[in-house]
A and B are shown apart, each in its own frame.
Chain A
Amino acid sequence: APLPTAWLPALQLARRGSKAVTRHWKAMHFQRQKLLAVTEYLPPRPAVPPRCLPAQREHPQEEDGYARLLRRQVEQVFRSSRMVAVCQYNSMPDEDVVTMRYYLRKHNIEVKFVLNEIVRPVLAQSKYRNLLPLFVCRNILLVSPETRAREMLRVLKGIPQVNLLGACIDNTILSRQGVENFSRLPPLEASQGQTVGALALLPSQTSSLLQHGPSLLTALLDEHIRRLRGTAAPGEPPQEQGKG
C-alpha cells in the first residue's frame, strides 16, 4: 500500500471562553447535554414485577461431580481394606506429615485425608453407621489391607498431634482400647495352634480313658495271681489270662 499521506484532523478543538478544565462547574455544551440525555441508561423492567409472580422454589442443587468422585473413592477404600482407623488430625508441621506418611507406608498403611461432608453420607448408607459420631472436626483415615495394629500404634504414639479415635478391623468396630487389646493378641497361626491343641486334648485322652478300667482290672488280677502263686505251688497255670 502506498505511504499514507498527511491528513487534516477531522475534529478541531476551538478554545472559546474558558479552558476545558475549570475550577467552577462548567456548563455542558448543549449538544453534549442532548447526547447524554439520549444515551442515558434505562434498566430493563420486566412486564410483570417479580413480586407478583408465584414464589420460585429453589431448584435442587446439582450434584457436584467432584463430590461424587470423592464419595466413590471413600466407598472403594472401605471395601478394599481390612483395617480402617479413624484419627483426629490436629495441625502438624508439613515435614512431620510427610515423615508420618513415610513410616506408615513402610507397614503398608496409607494415610487418607477425608472431608466430613463426603464421608458422612457414605457411612450413613453403608453398614458402618456407628462410626458416624466420630467424623467431627478434621479427621484422617489410616487404611491398610493388613491388620498390623501394633506397628500403627507404635508410630502414632510418637505423634501427639494425631489421636486414634476408633477403628474398623475385619468388619468389627473397635474403640481405642479395643485396638490396643487387638494389638496385644498373639498372631493368627499361634492362636489357631492353641485352639487345635485345646480341642485335641480331650480326644487324646479318650484311649487312655477307655483303657483305664480294664487296665485297673488287669493290674488287680495280676496282683491276685501273684499272691495266689506266692501261697500255692509254682507251676499252676494262671487262673485268668491277662486281658491286656
Chain B
Amino acid sequence: EKMASKISVVLRPVKSIVVRFCPFEPNVESTRKFLQCIFHKKIQATNRNCEVTADVRHDGSEPLVDVVFADGDRLIMKGANLTTVEMLTALGSRCNAKDLKEEQKSKKKSP
C-alpha cells in the first residue's frame, strides 16, 4: 500500500487516462487503487492538462485502464490480474521513456 504511493509517475507525455471498472465485481481492487494513486496531488501536479476519467459500469466487464499519450500511442492495461504496483511501474516506465525521447528530440532541434 505504501509502495503504491511512493511510485512517482511523470504524466507529462500523457493526454488522457480512462479507468473503466465494475465495482460489484471482485477483481477490481488493484484498478481502484491505481485510480486512487493517479489522483494523488504529486502525480496530478506533474500534468494539469491530463484528463483522468473514471467509467463506472455494471456489465460484468473486466477492469481496464486506457492511457492515451500525447504522440498518439495507446496503452491498455487489463487490471483483472495485475497489481497496482505493476500497473504504476509499467505506466511510469513508458512515461519516462517518452520523456527522454522528447528531450532528445528537443535537444537535437536546438543544438
Bound-state CA distance A134–B29 (Å) is 9
At the interface, yes or no: B2 with Cβ under 8 Å from chain A? no
Question: Is A133 in contact with B56, judged by CB distance below 8 angstroms?
Answer: no
Interface residues on B, range: 20 to 34
Residues from chain A with a CB closer than 8 A to the CB of B40 are 91
Interface membership of B28, Cβ < 8 A: yes
Chain B residues within an 8 Å CB radius of A88:
23, 32, 35-36, 54
CB-CB nearest in chain A for B39: A90
Interface residues of B in 11-59 (CB under 8 A from A): 23-26, 28-29, 32-33, 35-36, 38-41, 52-54, 56-58
Partner of B36, one of A138, A166, A177: A138
Residue in A92, A93, A130, A163 with the greatest tally of chain B CB atoms within 10 Å: A163
Complex Cα–Cα for A138 and B40 (A): 13
Is there a chain B Cβ closer than 8 Å to A161's Cβ? yes
> Closest approach, in angstroms, between the C-beta of B102 and any C-beta of chain A?
26
A136 & B41 in contact (Cβ 8 Å cutoff): no
- Judged by a CB distance under 8 angstroms, whether A176 is at the interface is yes
Cα distance A105–B24 in the bound complex, in angstroms: 28
Flag if B24 contacts A133 (CB, 8 Å): yes
Q: Which of A91, A92, A130, A176 contacts B56 (CB 8 A)?
A: A176
Instruction: Give Cα A89–Cα B33 distance, bound, in whole angstroms.
Output: 11
Given A91-B40, A133-B24, A160-B53, answer yes or no on A177-B29 (Cβ-Cβ < 8 Å).
no
B29 contact set on A, CB distance < 8 A: 136-137
- Distance in Å: Cβ of B88 to nearest Cβ of chain A: 14
Residue from the list B23, B35, B41, B52 in contact with A134, Cβ < 8 A? B23
Residue pair A166, B23 in contact (C-beta under 8 Å): yes
Q: Is A165 an interface residue (CB 8 A)?
A: yes
Q: Establish whether residues B35 and A164, one from each chain, have CB atoms under 8 Å apart when the complex forms.
A: no
- Contact check, B41 vs A91: say whether CB atoms are below 8 A apart: yes
Asked whether, in the complex, the Cβ of B24 is within 8 Å of the Cβ of A134, the reply is: yes
A218 within 8 A of B: no
Q: Contacts of A92 on B, CB cut-off 8 Å?
A: 39
Q: How far is the CA of A134 from the CA of B53 in the complex (A)?
A: 19
Q: At the interface, yes or no: A175 with Cβ under 8 Å from chain B? A: yes
**B23 contacts which of A93, A138, A160, A165 (Cβ < 8 Å)?**
A165
Q: Given the complex, which residues of B lie within 8 Å of A90, measured CB to CB? A: 35-36, 38-39
How far is it, in angstroms, between the C-alpha of A99 and the C-alpha of B56 when the chains are bound?
Answer: 24
Tell which of A93, A134, A137 touches B33, judged by Cβ atoms closer than 8 Å.
A137
Interface residues of chain A, those whose CB is within 8 Å of chain B, are: 88, 90-93, 130, 133-134, 136-138, 160-161, 163-166, 175-178
Provide a sorted-by-A list of 8 A–B residue pairs whose CB atoms are within 8 angstroms. Answer: A92-B39, A93-B41, A133-B26, A134-B23, A137-B33, A165-B56, A166-B23, A175-B58
9 closest A-B pairs by beta carbon, nearest first, are A90-B39, A175-B58, A165-B23, A163-B54, A176-B56, A137-B32, A136-B29, A90-B36, A134-B23
Known pairs A93-B41, A160-B52, A175-B24 / 18 extra A-B pairs, C-beta < 8 Å = A88-B54, A90-B35, A90-B36, A90-B38, A90-B39, A91-B39, A133-B25, A134-B23, A137-B29, A138-B36, A160-B53, A161-B39, A163-B54, A163-B56, A164-B56, A165-B23, A166-B23, A176-B57
